Amino acid sequence: MFAVGGLSRIGEEMDRLGARRALVLATPEQRADARRVAEILGERHAGVFAEAAMHVPIETARAAVAEAKRLNADCAVTIGGGSTTGLGKAIALESSIPILAVPTTYAGSEVTPIYGLTEGGLKKTGRDPRVLPRTVIYDPQLTVSMPKQLTATSGMNAMAHAVEGLYAADANPITSLMAEEGIRALAVGLPRAVARPDDIEARADCLYGAWLCGTVLGAVGMALHHKLCHTLGGGFNLPHAETHTVVLPHAAAYNFSVAREAMARTQRALGAKDAASGLFDLAAGLGAPMTLDQIGMRASDLDRAADLAVAAPYPNPRPIERGAIRKLLDDAFYGRRPGPLS
């Protein structure tokens, strides 16, 4: 459901799912949002579990599953970003109860069957139709509170799904249309949302773009960019959306000469001169962090990151070569603007 103020109709949506006892999930920072949902749900709410954390630590997942069982919950309501949606997915994976997701960032997890769980510092991801939320409420009002930096980086994270979706090995004409439109909607919405966080039309454009980009992520396979971000996030504990923001222009530059059509479509959707520098300039204009250095990477770890990134093969338009990947990481570390590409 897309609606300004749509959150107030969450009870009806729960009824539609045939559920009566919701466990409401959030991060500790969004506990107040979870309480608001619980209030709207009234008797339909069984409890609040506001312990969601980045990358779904297995201990948190186990505690949430136990809480859902203890309360006899028959659905999970998630209000928050990808971390909170991810915790709902961990419960659904274990118990098959439906998820009603209320996203408050642009991560897109609410429309994918992809889950992640982190155990002993290692994040494992998988796909399972049981974790795909059954209902999603997109309410732009809930994104107004996003800090400017999260607005910018979360939006670039969404765009990354679409850029990689355009050159995915299993892309199809429909996912490519969605990807292009998703990039376009975010490119017009993000600068306005960052300039005026309470611009509801801009917020609606961004959320619409995030839905499109997330749907692409759920439908087709990702490549170099997502692999690199997964390596950097999991192996070096870098923050998720920021890492996507810094790496994306460089991953696009890496694939530029091979993924011609995808790059032409990205460039068109951005209204830029070329895809890689267009992504770079958009992120810079939003005031997002532009270097791996700024977001916690150490120069001395770049070699190990390159080794990890080339260790296992994965699909990508341009072959993965250690030297070129090391250079990409160097460019991302120092935030060099991709030069003119042809």
What is the spatial distance between Cα 328 and Cα 198, in angstroms, rounded to a whole number?
36
**In the complex, what is the shortest distance from the CB of residue 20 to ligand NAD, in angstroms, rounded to a whole number?**
27
> Quick one: which of 6, 88, 98, 116 contacts ligand NAD (CB under 6 A)?
116
Contacts of 319 (CB under 8 A, 6+ apart): none
Rounded CA Rg of the chain: 19
Check: CB of residue 144 under 8 Å from CB of residue 197.
Answer: yes
Spell out the alpha helix ranges (H) of the chain.
Answer: 10-16, 31-41, 58-70, 82-95, 148-166, 173-195, 200-219, 224-236, 240-255, 260-270, 275-285, 302-311, 322-334
**In the complex, what is the shortest distance from the CB of residue 323 to ligand NAD, in angstroms, rounded to a whole number?**
28
End-to-end CA distance of the chain, in Å? 42
What is the spatial distance between Cα 293 and Cα 335, in angstroms, rounded to a whole number?
8
Residue 55 vs 327, nearer CB to ligand NAD: 55
Residues in the chain: 342
**In the complex, what is the shortest distance from the CB of residue 185 to ligand NAD, in angstroms, rounded to a whole number?**
17
User: Which one of 75-83, 186-194, 220-228, 309-317 is the stretch in contact with ligand NAD (CB under 6 A)?
Assistant: 75-83
| Stretch 265-284 residues interacting with ligand NAD (CB under 6 A) | none
> Would you count residue 78 as binding ligand NAD (CB under 6 A)?
no
Residue 178 vs 217, nearer CB to ligand NAD: 217
> Would you count residue 109 as binding ligand NAD (CB under 6 A)?
yes
Q: Residue 108, by phi and psi: left (phi above 0), alpha (psi -120 to 50) or beta? A: left
> Would you count residue 231 as binding ligand NAD (CB under 6 A)?
no
The pair phi, psi for residue 191, each rounded to 5°, is -60, -35
Q: What mask, x for binding ligand NAD by CB under 6 A, covers residues 10 to 29?
A: -----------------x-x
**In the complex, what is the shortest distance from the CB of residue 173 to ligand NAD, in angstroms, rounded to a whole number?**
23
> Would you count residue 243 as binding ligand NAD (CB under 6 A)?
no
What is the spatial distance between Cα 227 and Cα 235, in angstroms, rounded to a whole number?
12
User: Which one of 1-9, 77-85, 286-294, 305-313 is the stretch in contact with ligand NAD (CB under 6 A)?
Assistant: 77-85
Residue 219 vs 263, nearer CB to ligand NAD: 219
> Would you count residue 152 as binding ligand NAD (CB under 6 A)?
no
What is the spatial distance between Cα 304 and Cα 251, in angstroms, rounded to a whole number?
18
> Would you count residue 108 as binding ligand NAD (CB under 6 A)?
yes
> Quick one: which of 114, 117, 187, 213 contacts ligand NAD (CB under 6 A)?
114
Residue 95 vs 149, nearer CB to ligand NAD: 149
What is the spatial distance between Cα 83 and Cα 4, in angstroms, rounded to a whole number?
23
What is the spatial distance between Cα 133 and Cα 101, in angstroms, rounded to a whole number?
6
**In the complex, what is the shortest distance from the CB of residue 340 to ligand NAD, in angstroms, rounded to a whole number?**
31
**In the complex, what is the shortest distance from the CB of residue 290 to ligand NAD, in angstroms, rounded to a whole number?**
18
User: Which one of 14-22, 78-86, 173-181, 308-316 is the stretch in contact with ligand NAD (CB under 6 A)?
Assistant: 78-86
Q: How many CA atoms lie within 13 A of 303 on its CB side?
A: 1
Residue 76 vs 267, nearer CB to ligand NAD: 76
- Here the tokens at position 259 are 């993924």
- Site for ligand NAD, rule CB under 6 A: 27, 29-30, 54-55, 80-84, 86, 104-105, 107-109, 112, 114-116, 142-143, 145-146, 150, 154, 157, 217, 240-241
